[in-house]
Structure 1
Amino acid sequence: MAMAGRIRSSVPRLTKALMSDSVSTQRLNVERALICPNFTDPQSRNFASASPTKEPKIKVPVAMFGGSGNYASALYIAAAKAKTLEKVEAELLDLVAASQKSPTFSQFMKDLAVPADTRVKAMTQICDQAKFSEITKNFLVVLADNGRLRHVDTIAKRFSDLTMAHRGEVKAIVTTVIPLPAEEEKELKDTLQQILGKGKKVKLEQKIDPSILGGLVVEFGQKVFDMSIKTRAKQMERFLRDPINFDA
């Protein structure tokens, strides 16, 4: 419960921190960024009076819940304000892909025994080498400082859900035993597009699962169309086991 409370209370500050001008490798500056989003070097800051600009009000296109959803929502708002949604999405997915390819890197992100200072310094260096945007860099540094790097893959998926909704895309996952031929994939995509109608765009994702034996399973929005041989075989088995009523 304490952790959940900490996540909820940190979301507004996190959103502001992601919009800060810069994030230092020093943990002190990370904490300052969370409290004061416009923190920079006092020697270089210009305190001349200026009329405040009214920021556009950004709303997440889909309500997200839970810790990962809150982090993804905060990142979405910051990236939308900076007009870098696609760049931030690509950078997050690149990081997740890198962690999947490197067991050492994956273990580092999951290991809470690593001191926060070490996590912050390492993640800052990684972002600098990868030339990530400031929004992404700030976000990952905050995750590192809060011990939430182990959830970055889930956060990235939730963030992608938000960016897809922003673009008017609807994900459809088709599961088959072997990859669909190009013609059949196009036919399925066109059919789903007709169901959606105008204003939305189908984004088809293929998954391979030999356990379904044949046929296909389509997950589309909140619906699942199961036309697999495995499911049909189970239905047939239940039918054969049911007692036959000869009087009917």
Structure 2
Amino acid sequence: MAGRIRSALPLINRIARSDSFLAPHRAAVHRTLQSPVFASSSESSRYYATAAAPPKEQKIKLPVALYGGAGNYASALYIASKKANVLDKVEAELLDLVQALEKSPTFSQFTKDLSVPADTRVKAITDIAEQAKFSQVTKTFLIVLAENGRLRSIDTIAKKFAELTMADKGIVKATVTTVMPLPPSEEKELKETLQQIIGQGKQVTLEQKIDASILGGLVVEFSQKVFDMSIKTRAKQMERALMEPVQF
């Protein structure tokens, strides 16, 4: 699929030079944007912030509450994907698109250039989605991003969407930050401890990050919780304690 995306990239330059390609797609794009699932940018932000479903439609509950613009868009895509029963396919398609952005500076620049007219962005992303044989949900979502000038945020939205798909599968991603990689035995022990905290029915996946600025110890983040046991934080706490006036 990634190969089909790359083969579609030359369309960007061709489309940018000719507005004649846009007319056949305008009506379809505007019909798409009227969908209750893919409302305008401001409407979708308000709508999905409450995780409410359209009247008389199946109500989809978000497995994780996300915030901010990227979180709202990711939530909208999750709801649409669940309703269409294409969650895994949409996740794979977003991953392919992000990989194409990383491999193609031209494509990446195109998505970030807000001086490109909205109609041109819509036409380009529509043709790329069609040539890559993306699902209708992914194609529609990308059209909305193009219309609203949000293609530049696709990588962030994809990460937020991945959080939702992992939670949907009962996978809890934990991130541990240390000054050096944890030995396998300590990593295993930490993962087992987190599994006990999270409980049965869910699977913990552990990601390690290296950050020398924490000086030592570790910082663990999962399920929107942060356990900061770094030397840096302890030093700051001690400094604040020493600065406090002595009570007699």
Structure 2 length-normalised TM: 0.70
Aligned 8 A contact 1:217 1:225 in 2:
yes
Where does residue 224 of structure 1 map in the other structure?
Answer: 226
Q: Note the C-alpha offset of 1:155.
A: 2.1
Q: Note the C-alpha offset of 1:177.
A: 2.0
Question: Which consecutive residues of structure 1, in runs of 5 or more, have no partner in the other structure?
Answer: 1-23, 38-53
Aligned 8 A contact 1:215 1:228 in 2:
yes
Task: Report the 3-state secondary structure (helix = DSSP H, G, I; strand = E; otherwise coil) of the residue aligned with 1:132.
Answer: coil
Task: Report the 3-state secondary structure (helix = DSSP H, G, I; strand = E; otherwise coil) of the residue aligned with 2:116.
Answer: coil
2:87 & 2:199 partners in 1: Cα distance?
Answer: 25
Paired letter, 2:204: V
Where does residue 157 of structure 2 map in the other structure?
Answer: 155
| Range 213-222 or range 183-192, more displaced | 213-222
Where does residue 95 of structure 1 map in the other structure?
Answer: 97
Task: Report the 3-state secondary structure (helix = DSSP H, G, I; strand = E; otherwise coil) of the residue aligned with 1:95.
Answer: helix
Q: Note the C-alpha offset of 1:114.
A: 0.3
| Range 70-79 or range 186-195, more displaced | 70-79
Task: Report the 3-state secondary structure (helix = DSSP H, G, I; strand = E; otherwise coil) of the residue aligned with 1:122.
Answer: helix
Paired letter, 1:81: K
Q: Residues 65, 108 of structure 1: CA spacing in aligned structure 2 closer, same or farther, 3 A cutoff?
A: same
Task: Report the 3-state secondary structure (helix = DSSP H, G, I; strand = E; otherwise coil) of the residue aligned with 1:225.
Answer: strand
Q: How does 1:127-146 map to 2 (within 5 A)?
A: 127-146=129-148
Where does residue 27 of structure 1 map in the other structure?
Answer: 26
2:183 aligned with 1:184: no
2:236 & 2:71 partners in 1: Cα distance?
Answer: 36
Choose 1 or 2 for highest CA Rg.
1
Question: Per-residue displacement from partner, 1:98-155 (whole Å, max 9, x unpaired)?
Answer: 3345443332212211012221222123324444322212211221122221222332
Q: Note the C-alpha offset of 1:195.
A: 0.8
Q: Which of 104, 113, 116 matches 2:115?
A: 113
Question: Per-residue displacement from partner, 1:71-90 (whole Å, max 9, x unpaired)?
Answer: 22221122112222122123
Q: How does 1:1-248 map to 2 (within 5 A)?
A: 26-35=25-34, 56-238=58-240
Aligned 8 A contact 2:178 2:212 in 1:
yes
Q: Note the C-alpha offset of 1:211.
A: 1.4
Aligned 8 A contact 1:177 1:214 in 2:
yes
Question: Per-residue displacement from partner, 1:37-75 (whole Å, max 9, x unpaired)?
Answer: 9xxxxxxxxxxxxxxxx9754333334444433322221
Aligned 8 A contact 1:68 1:154 in 2:
yes
Task: Report the 3-state secondary structure (helix = DSSP H, G, I; strand = E; otherwise coil) of the residue aligned with 1:199.
Answer: coil
Paired letter, 1:232: R
Task: Report the 3-state secondary structure (helix = DSSP H, G, I; strand = E; otherwise coil) of the residue aligned with 1:125.
Answer: helix
RMSD of aligned Cα (Å): 3.0
Q: Determine what percentage of the aligned residue pairs are the same residue.
A: 72
Q: Residues 77, 239 of structure 1: CA spacing in aligned structure 2 closer, same or farther, 3 A cutoff?
A: closer
1:31 & 1:158 partners in 2: Cα distance?
Answer: 26
Question: Which consecutive residues of structure 2, in runs of 5 or more, have no partner in the other structure?
Answer: 1-22, 37-55
Q: In the comparison of the two structures, how many residue pairs are matched?
A: 207
2:221 & 2:32 partners in 1: Cα distance?
Answer: 41
2:177 & 2:118 partners in 1: Cα distance?
Answer: 41
Task: Report the 3-state secondary structure (helix = DSSP H, G, I; strand = E; otherwise coil) of the residue aligned with 1:136.
Answer: helix
Task: Report the 3-state secondary structure (helix = DSSP H, G, I; strand = E; otherwise coil) of the residue aligned with 1:178.
Answer: coil
Aligned 8 A contact 1:25 1:124 in 2:
no
1:114 & 1:242 partners in 2: Cα distance?
Answer: 56
